[in-house]
Amino acid sequence: MDCVNCGKLLSELRVDDLTVDVCGEGCGGVWFDAAELKKVDEKAEGHGEKLLKGLPAAGSSRRNSEKGRCPRCGVGLRRYFFSPAKTFEIDECAQCGGVWLDGGELAALRDLPGSEEERRTAARNQFDAMFRTELDALASQTQNDSDRAHRFARAVRWVLPSTWLPGKQKGGAF
C-alpha cells in the first residue's frame, strides 16, 4: 500500500495483536484498519504506548487541500475533526472504515482529555449550542402546521365521506 500523503510504500508494524501500516520512509503517517484506532486512542490503553514507541519520527507531511485516497480500497477519504475542541483533523474511508493519521497525530490524539464517552457528550453539547434555536423553531413550526391541519379537518369533517360510514373514525378523515 502507498502512503496517503507522500506516496511512499507503507510498511507493517505489529504491536501485540495490532498491526498497522506506517510510512516509515516518508511522512510518518499511520493507517489503521477499521476499529483499530479504538484500541489505541486513549492513554489508558497499553497498545497505544507500545505503538508510539515503534513509530518513526514525523517527517514532512506534504498534505495539501485535496483529499487523499484510501490505501486499501482507493475511495476518497473524508476529513473531519476528531474532537469537539477541533485541534486536528483525521481522515476516514467511508467504504472500509480505515483511518489515516498524519505523523505525530496519534500522540496528540492520545493527549486529548477525557474518554470517548466524554468526547461524545462534549460533541452533543456543542451541537446543541450551535443548532438548538433553529431546531426549536422547526419543532414549533411543525407543531403549528399539525394544529392547523387538525383544525381544518374538524371544520370540514361533516362533508367528508368517512363521517357517513358506520364505525369509530376519530377526527373525521384523520
- pLDDT single digits (tens) 96-133: 999 999 888 888 888 877 777 777 787 788 888 888 88
Where is pLDDT greater, at 105 or 61? Answer: 105
| 172 occurs within a structural domain | no
Same domain flag for 73 and 145:
no
Same domain flag for 108 and 151:
no
The position carrying cell 443548532 is 131
Same domain flag for 52 and 124:
no
| Tens-digit pLDDT profile for residues 144-172 | 888 888 888 777 776 666 555 555 556 55
| 75 occurs within a structural domain | yes
Query: Strands (DSSP E) along 18-127, which ranges?
Result: 18-22, 30-32, 77-81, 89-93, 99-101
pLDDT on residue 68 = 84
Same domain flag for 88 and 146:
no
Same domain flag for 135 and 86:
no
Q: Closest Cα to residue 4, out of 81, 85, 71, 75?
A: 71
> What are the b/e assignments for 42-76, b being 16+ CB within 10 Å?
eeeeebbeebeeebbebbebebeeeebbbbbeeee
pLDDT on residue 52 = 86
Same domain flag for 46 and 98:
yes
How far, in Å, CA of 13 to CA of 31, rounded?
10
Structural domain for 75, as ranges: 11-113
The mean pLDDT value for 17-43 works out to 89
| 26 occurs within a structural domain | yes
| 171 occurs within a structural domain | no
Same domain flag for 92 and 139:
no
